[in-house]
Amino acid sequence: MVIQFCSFRLAHLTFGIEVDRVQEVLRSQALTPVPLAHDVVRGLINLRGQIVTAIDLRRRLNLPEREPGEEPMNIVVRTSGGELSLLVDAIGDVVDVDEGTFEGPPETLDGVARELITGTYKLDDRLLLVLDTDRAVQLPAAV
């Protein structure tokens, strides 16, 4: 069986989210900061009158911050609590993968990334890391 993923990049890594979880993808949007919010919450975006929380996946996965001037893209996903925007570096293509080629998370992943990746698919030129959307949108305990 073939499964489709919306692919995106964070730093040097390629991730995927099941296409049926994605509502839409958007260019960089103006963010309204939320005072006292967790540091992974970058702010709120106005999506045609609907207020949507924007979570920075770089911060959520403990990856280095974007370079100054690099604007994130938005992947608006459907969750049990409503729509949320995931801030990513770049949007990729919709990728078709064979369900039978699924493998567990790579041994080289550690920390929070290991907890948020359900597994991988080998593509022709890279590895597609499957993001557990439900866990990724749960805010970690404040430090």
**Which pLDDT score is estimated for 81?**
84
Q: Summarize pLDDT for 8-57 with one digit per residue, the tens.
A: 999 989 999 999 999 999 999 999 999 999 999 999 999 999 999 999 99
Of 30, 54, 73, which Cα lies nearest the Cα of 136? 54
d(CA 31, CA 41): 10
User: What distances in angstroms separate CA 133 from CA 22, 36, 124, one per listed residue?
Assistant: 10, 24, 24
Does 110 have pLDDT greater than 80? no
pTM: predicted TM-score of the whole model, two decimal places: 0.92
* 25 class by beta-carbon count within 10 Å (0-12 exposed, 13-18 middle, 19+ buried): middle
What is the number of other CB atoms lying within 10 angstroms of the CB of residue 127? Answer: 13
d(CA 48, CA 8): 23
> Which has the minimum average pLDDT: 1-10, 43-52, 121-130?
121-130
Structural domains of the chain, ranges and CATH numbers in brackets: 2-136 (2.40.50.180)
